[in-house]
Structure 1
Amino acid sequence: MSFALPRFLASQMFGQKTIRPLSAAAICGIAFIKDTLIAIDTPRGHLLQIDPVSDNTKIINPHQTREFMDITGLSIWQDTLWVTRGNSVYLCNLNSLGLEHFVTLPYEADGVAVWESAIYVTCQRLGKILVFEKDTRREITSFNAPGVGIENLAVDEETLWVCDNLEQTVYVIDRGTGEIIFSVLTPFESPTGIAIHQDGEQEQKNIYIAYASDETYIRDNPNADPSYEVARRDRTFIHPLHYHYDPEKRCALSNGYLIEMSYAEEISPLDEVYLQDLEWRIALPSNTDRQKVRSVEPIGLPFTEELIDGQSVAVFKFETLTPGERHLFGWKALLEVRGVKYRITPPDVENIPNPPAEFHERYLVDDDELAMDTAIVRHAANEAVGRETNLLRKMYSIRNYVYDELSYGIKPYIDTPDVVLERGVGSCGEYVGVLLALCRLNGIPCRTVGRYKCPPHPDQKGVPLQPDYNHVWLEFYVPGYGWLPMESNTDDTDSRGPYPTRFFMGLCWYHIEIGKGITFETLTSNGKRLTKEDVAIGDLAINHIRFTILEELPPL
């Protein structure tokens, strides 16, 4: 008996479902022939023919797998297959699959795309997209690669689509000039292939992305004691990329998810306390360009909602909190979250107005132990930007300077920026502190955002997920454009760069924005705000955070 979806129902999911071809280890290049997907399983040399509806998979080069091993890029134009392997580009007839040499690069060729007589080839070592003419096999022009990772390609009549495995990004580029039109973040890490599917019936273009990486899992090994051990396995699949570009806001939204998030505090003090007229404030999720709050409801105890600097906060009130008293309270929110990437360039901010006057007292001062008056922090602020005056270039230079000077490390508490710079190691909160200090000393208004990231497992729908740590990042203000996001430490992926810019003016769907520019959680007793010296929240209660991914949102 078959339990597969009827074909007419499954076909309605075309462009929505994840494609998981059987036996594949690491898919890189992909391309469409009408409604059939062609993919290369790079380590095995399998050229796969995949039905996107049923995942039915066929190896179409059973006698030539050795010749197709280590191929990374793949493109199809009419009846010709184009591939990259090593330093070279090859072509062959789809019926015979006998590879013919086309051109050799000085370094490894990564991706390839073909439109009529133009052959586009990416090379990470050169940092270029090279363009060759088919008949003469000569290079006719080149463009700067948009990202820093290994890039693969697809092309249509006017546009190059470039996916970058380190940037976790798809760049949409004018194929004539090489100019970036906009870019979108992919919902998964390590995109390794990209293809365009033209839906003839609906006259729309669907973009598919291949992903290849590995994952950890618990393996049951009967020959070991204990029998359970941590192991790694290949993970590869193909997923549609949804996107919506708003040229007026200069931002592109990508795949989104409906998420239920719960945050609750359990009163469980290390030392019993007695507090009168206690007000316990917990920030609520924000409504933004990429995040919409569908609903919020209390957990355990009721709360009232108030606004602090435009941000929603839940207020829980206790007449007294006595020794031995126990409570569980918090909120549960239903959120729509999407990836967002802003496309603003340095020339766009050359003649911008000054920030609003009220920003000087809120976002350009030392209001959170930023050590902005210390010599080491002031020296770092000057060293980071040099003589640069453009706001975006200053911001980019500050980020790279901090990434050069710091390495990531988890700590139980947050030191001030002067201590962190001297030590050279910092947590995400310490990265934020250093970035805030250097930006504010250079006249760039900044504020903190964040608190938690949903575990990035969108295929685990309906399963309660718990983050390992809290997390913070920041936003910087650009007059005329508003507040733009920037990750704290996540893009600090190498010792001396170049660093990805995926989260420079961008956030992935799993970032949950809570309490922009305000303290996430505060206590007030008898009208006086309590400090950590009075009573630390971590000593008074245990927090419980849970995420449940309910569904992937339909395209905008």
Structure 2
Amino acid sequence: MSFALPSFSPRQMFGQKTIRPIGAAILSGIAFFKDNLIAIDSPKGFLLQIDPASDNTTILNAHQTKEFTDITGLAIWEDTLWVTRDKSVYACKLGSFGLEHFVTLPYTADGIAIWESTVYVSCQKLGYILIFDRDTRKEITRFYAPGVGVENLAVSEETLWVCDSTEQTVYCLDRATGEVQFSVLTPFESPTGIAIHTDASTGEQTLYLAYASEEPYVRDNPNADPNHELAYRDRTFIHPLHYHYDPQKHYALSNGYLIEMSYVEEISPIEEVYLQQVEWRIALPSDTDRQKVKHVEPIGLPFKEELIDGQRVAVFTFDTLTPGERHMFGWKAVLEVRGIKYRFTPKDVEEVPELSPEFASRYLVDNDELAMDTAIVRRAAEEAIGTETNLLRKMYSIRNYVYDQLSYGIKPHIDTPDRVLERGVGSCGEYVGVLLALCRLNGIACRTVGRYKCPPYAEHQHVPLQPDYNHVWLEFYIPGFGWLPMESNPDDIGNYGPYPTRFFMGLCWYHIEIGKGIPFETLTSKGVRLTKEDISIGELAINHIRFTILGELPPF
């Protein structure tokens, strides 16, 4: 079965293609001037005019590059260019490029946006977006910055758009009050600039984001032996951001991809075994608000499908598994997967109903070696929330407490939360274990979800991609609404915060949800489920996981 994505001609560029300016190193501020993109290459000081259809790139300030070095924010209003550099804001006429001082901040000015006579300037060090009157140069008011990283700005009508490089997020703010309406996860890390393109014929607006980071690559060095070595290079491009906001469901969806995923087990036991009447169950990908299963088929051997707690499971049967017997079997699925970001405030959960007895008996108990009866875990559960009673604030406090206590490290096996807290280092699964224990002791229903992430190389399409590790995160439950996702460790950036909240109630397109609320893989023999003590699946078989990105999903 084939799945076709639409193709577009070079002139159908707006909202469809990735723009890769020739020769650019690090793009920061971007803005549209009619149908052309204007961007600043910060380390070079190049003010670039970019044709979105062809990537053709022209340096506009050929004789003033030094004056434009280290500029981070850029905006255009009518025939005036506005920029931020160091602590100051400057303006100049397009074409002259003689920068005139506008205002100086106490700390570094990051991003800038202009609407009529109002000038918006972001400052990470202050934690605010400052609003100035263009004519008087006086500060009118200021808004709290919604994220923790360096933020760039764009404005349109009644909306102020804020992209945060650390949060991997775009925030939609009310331009008059600064209140966050919703937020959208970006499909790539490190967004460094944001601009709005308005179609002259339809009035339709499209958000564009610049991204800048370093990427590792294998360099061929003929003077070395061996000649291949790891190196890093700049990676910068501009890509449209598509979103769909559903206020009733409290979430916004963003860019996504059509992905083919395969999961295959190869029987290759460390020690030969003899098993009779075997049923080998492997969970299948789930249908969720952000992930749609388009097609599933068997690999190697046929399977029958079961529903367990509403989740699809592939069941492979063997009359016997004998010493020396070898098989490969599994499934292949085609998925539409998008980014999702839920938005709830503490006020939204002030009067949620009580957790049902069924959920309490299932999701508030120690049913997965969580060491919830140990002194160190119980003490951590109390310290994590203090006197907080609001469900959402408790969840946020527990997450930050765990991030303060742990740093990330991979181990060959999963320890219980008491040992992890004593050690202070944990893998993603150990982060999840500690989070589950502390949440459940504080009356918050939660469960382990996940299993794999597609390697996040969206430009590597139609080639096999293999993840280095499996991955788990968790979901917590808000009575009256449902389950919300929360990553285990990626937002723990160290240094005791402030920690980003990009994956607090959010997942990106590369998170693959499989078998929510049920075990990923189980083995039974003669109707009896085998435990790790009986036989470990990891000692019986080798798994093979493969992703293929088939293409980007069209706009909403």
TM-score, reference length from structure 1: 0.98
10-19 vs 509-518, which deviates more? 10-19
Whether the aligned pair in 1 keeps the contact of 2:45 and 2:69 (CA below 8 Å) is: yes
Residue identity in the other structure for 1:303 = F
* 1:394 aligned residue: 394
* 2:50 aligned residue: 50
C-alpha deviation, 1:360, in angstroms = 1.0
* 1:131 aligned residue: 131
1:195-253 residue CA offsets vs partner (Å, 9 max, x unmatched): 00001223211000000001111111112122111111100000000100001101000
Q: Secondary structure at the match of 2:440?
A: helix
C-alpha deviation, 1:361, in angstroms = 1.2
C-alpha deviation, 1:310, in angstroms = 1.4
C-alpha deviation, 1:13, in angstroms = 3.1
C-alpha deviation, 1:479, in angstroms = 1.3
Hey, what's the Cα distance between the residues in 1 that align with 2:294 and 2:339? 17
Hey, what's the Cα distance between the residues in 2 that align with 1:493 and 1:98? 40
Residue identity in the other structure for 1:541 = A
* 1:251 aligned residue: 251
* 2:151 counterpart of 1:185: no
Q: Secondary structure at the match of 2:401?
A: helix
C-alpha deviation, 1:380, in angstroms = 0.4
* 1:516 aligned residue: 516
* 1:341 aligned residue: 341
**Structure 1: tracts of 5 or more residues without a match:** 1-7
C-alpha deviation, 1:14, in angstroms = 2.2
Residue identity in the other structure for 1:55 = D
* 2:296 aligned residue: 296
Whether the aligned pair in 1 keeps the contact of 2:449 and 2:515 (CA below 8 Å) is: yes
Matches within 5 A, 1:536-547: 536-547=536-547
Hey, what's the Cα distance between the residues in 2 that align with 1:437 and 1:200? 55
* 1:78 aligned residue: 78
Hey, what's the Cα distance between the residues in 1 that align with 2:75 and 2:192? 13
1:266-301 residue CA offsets vs partner (Å, 9 max, x unmatched): 000000000000110101000000000001000000
Residue identity in the other structure for 2:446 = C
How many residue pairs align between the two structures? Answer: 549
Hey, what's the Cα distance between the residues in 1 that align with 2:15 and 2:547? 26
1:492-530 residue CA offsets vs partner (Å, 9 max, x unmatched): 012200000000000000000001111111100011110
* 1:3 aligned residue: none
Matches within 5 A, 1:368-383: 368-383=368-383
* 2:407 counterpart of 1:407: yes
Q: Secondary structure at the match of 2:10?
A: helix
TM-score, reference length from structure 2: 0.98
268-277 vs 357-366, which deviates more? 357-366
Hey, what's the Cα distance between the residues in 1 that align with 2:218 and 2:304? 44
Hey, what's the Cα distance between the residues in 2 that align with 1:494 and 1:121? 28
Whether the aligned pair in 1 keeps the contact of 2:13 and 2:52 (CA below 8 Å) is: no
* 1:26 aligned residue: 26
Q: Secondary structure at the match of 1:210?
A: strand
Whether the aligned pair in 1 keeps the contact of 2:407 and 2:494 (CA below 8 Å) is: no
* 1:87 aligned residue: 87
Hey, what's the Cα distance between the residues in 1 that align with 2:485 and 2:555? 23
* 1:260 aligned residue: 260
* 2:9 counterpart of 1:9: yes
Matches within 5 A, 1:107-118: 107-118=107-118
**Structure 2: tracts of 5 or more residues without a match:** 1-7
Q: Secondary structure at the match of 1:10?
A: coil
1:469-509 residue CA offsets vs partner (Å, 9 max, x unmatched): 00000000001221000000010012200000000000000
Hey, what's the Cα distance between the residues in 1 that align with 2:523 and 2:314? 12
114-123 vs 303-312, which deviates more? 303-312
C-alpha deviation, 1:76, in angstroms = 0.2
Hey, what's the Cα distance between the residues in 1 that align with 2:162 and 2:195? 10
Hey, what's the Cα distance between the residues in 2 that align with 1:465 and 1:356? 42
Hey, what's the Cα distance between the residues in 1 that align with 2:186 and 2:434? 29
Q: Secondary structure at the match of 2:435?
A: helix
* 2:488 counterpart of 1:488: yes
Hey, what's the Cα distance between the residues in 2 that align with 1:247 and 1:555? 19
Q: Secondary structure at the match of 2:9?
A: helix
* 2:367 counterpart of 1:352: no
Hey, what's the Cα distance between the residues in 2 that align with 1:66 and 1:82? 16
Hey, what's the Cα distance between the residues in 2 that align with 1:251 and 1:451? 23
Hey, what's the Cα distance between the residues in 2 that align with 1:145 and 1:509? 25
C-alpha deviation, 1:432, in angstroms = 0.3
Hey, what's the Cα distance between the residues in 1 that align with 2:18 and 2:367? 47
- Percent same amino acid among aligned pairs? 77
82-91 vs 197-206, which deviates more? 197-206
* 2:105 aligned residue: 105
Q: Secondary structure at the match of 2:193?
A: strand
Whether the aligned pair in 1 keeps the contact of 2:268 and 2:540 (CA below 8 Å) is: yes
Hey, what's the Cα distance between the residues in 2 that align with 1:10 and 1:519? 47
Q: Secondary structure at the match of 1:382?
A: helix
C-alpha deviation, 1:356, in angstroms = 2.2
Residue identity in the other structure for 2:326 = R
Residue identity in the other structure for 1:143 = F
Whether the aligned pair in 1 keeps the contact of 2:150 and 2:164 (CA below 8 Å) is: yes
C-alpha deviation, 1:65, in angstroms = 0.2
* 2:423 aligned residue: 423
C-alpha deviation, 1:467, in angstroms = 0.1
Q: Secondary structure at the match of 1:383?
A: helix
1:368-419 residue CA offsets vs partner (Å, 9 max, x unmatched): 0001111111000010001100000000000000000000000110000011
RMSD between superposed Cα atoms in Å = 0.7
347-356 vs 20-29, which deviates more? 347-356
C-alpha deviation, 1:188, in angstroms = 0.3
Hey, what's the Cα distance between the residues in 2 that align with 1:482 and 1:225? 57
C-alpha deviation, 1:311, in angstroms = 1.1
Q: Secondary structure at the match of 1:28?
A: strand
452-461 vs 347-356, which deviates more? 347-356
Matches within 5 A, 1:159-174: 159-174=159-174
* 1:5 aligned residue: none
Residue identity in the other structure for 1:114 = I
C-alpha deviation, 1:357, in angstroms = 2.1
Residue identity in the other structure for 1:533 = E
Hey, what's the Cα distance between the residues in 1 that align with 2:283 and 2:222? 48
Residue identity in the other structure for 2:95 = N
* 1:4 aligned residue: none
Residue identity in the other structure for 2:88 = S
Residue identity in the other structure for 1:85 = R
1:25-70 residue CA offsets vs partner (Å, 9 max, x unmatched): 0000000011010000000000000000111100000000000000
Whether the aligned pair in 1 keeps the contact of 2:16 and 2:240 (CA below 8 Å) is: yes
Residue identity in the other structure for 2:437 = A
Whether the aligned pair in 1 keeps the contact of 2:28 and 2:193 (CA below 8 Å) is: yes
Residue identity in the other structure for 1:436 = L
1:330-364 residue CA offsets vs partner (Å, 9 max, x unmatched): 00000000000001100011011112221011111
Residue identity in the other structure for 1:492 = D
* 2:198 counterpart of 1:202: no
Residue identity in the other structure for 1:229 = E
Hey, what's the Cα distance between the residues in 1 that align with 2:135 and 2:393? 42
Residue identity in the other structure for 1:294 = K
* 2:148 aligned residue: 148
Q: Secondary structure at the match of 2:66?
A: coil
* 2:3 aligned residue: none
